[in-house]
Structure 1
Amino acid sequence: MITKKYLTDLIYQVNGAAIEVHKSIGAGLIESIYHQCMIKELSLRGIHFQSELKIPVEYKGLELRSDLRCDLFIENCLVLELKAVDQIIPIHIAKLMSYMKLLKSPIGLMINFNVTNIYHEGQKTYVNELYRWLDD
């Protein structure tokens, strides 16, 4: 059963993996490099995930053709979006929130590797309406 505590612990583990990647290779690379490194780091930590998960989109019973893919879907409950940009802009957040809704995920994490310090400025957690229904 997914609880708020479980998600808090999972976020902590994923942030730890991102900090390790950032500490090892630094800022200034392209997103696909960080993606590959996160795959390795999550695997080393025994965290289950799906990479480049194709997101189904349905509209009033019609399954739409879509090439939407989230970077990483972790433990079937956490959408992880990776960035290597100067700043996170509203469309990045909107995309993450849409992925969370479509995957019925209560929580999402945006990690931007193009920062000096991942922990203080490179990561932000987002929740949606599903989160409030979870047990503590």
Structure 2
Amino acid sequence: MTENEISKIVFESELKIHRQIGVGLFESVYEECLHYEIQKSGLKVERQKFLDINYDELLIPKAFKMDLLIENKVVLEIKSVESLNSFHASQLKII
């Protein structure tokens, strides 16, 4: 399955959750619901998975925690905020 096909399933799942429970809840609630919906679709999804970062000869274990990792291809960083800022964008950079 391609990243685009996975993204379509994720988008449809997010839309379903938004229509049912709306806005304003904790990120953990949306993460739990999204994990549930994506699993129901038959995709492999992991929660709160750590990623090591290599810098030069330095290994930084557990440097980044992914909210959801789907099919080892798509990383989701879930936000429940009124608007995104530069700090949120920096969380999406992969070294």
TM-score (norm 1): 0.64
**Are the equivalent residues in 1 in contact too, given 2:51–2:61 (CA < 8 A)?**
no
Name the residue aligned to 1:76. 72
1:18-33 alignment runs, 5 A limit: 18-33=14-29
Structure 1 residue 97: Cα displacement: 2.1
Name the residue aligned to 1:60. 56
**Structure-1 separation of matches of 2:79 and 2:66:** 12
**Structure-2 separation of matches of 1:69 and 1:9:** 24
Structure 1 residue 61: Cα displacement: 2.4
Gaps of 5+ in 2: none
Structure 1 residue 90: Cα displacement: 1.5
**Are the equivalent residues in 2 in contact too, given 1:55–1:70 (CA < 8 A)?**
yes
Structure 1 residue 75: Cα displacement: 1.0
Structure 1 residue 68: Cα displacement: 2.2
TM-aligned CA distance change 1:88 to 1:76, over 3 Å: same
What is the aligned counterpart of 1:15 among 11, 14, 24? 11
Are residue 40 (structure 1) and residue 36 (structure 2) matched? yes
Pick which of 11-20 and 54-63 moved more: 54-63
**Structure-2 separation of matches of 1:65 and 1:42:** 28
Equivalent residue pairs, number: 95
**Structure-1 separation of matches of 2:31 and 2:43:** 15
**Are the equivalent residues in 2 in contact too, given 1:49–1:74 (CA < 8 A)?**
yes
**Structure-2 separation of matches of 1:28 and 1:8:** 28
Structure 1 residue 23: Cα displacement: 1.1
**Are the equivalent residues in 1 in contact too, given 2:53–2:63 (CA < 8 A)?**
no
- Provide the secondary structure at the position in 2 that maps to 1:24: helix
Name the residue aligned to 2:85. 89
- Provide the secondary structure at the position in 2 that maps to 1:55: strand
- Provide the secondary structure at the position in 2 that maps to 1:96: coil
Give the counterpart letter for 2:88 in structure 1. Answer: H
TM-score (norm 2): 0.89
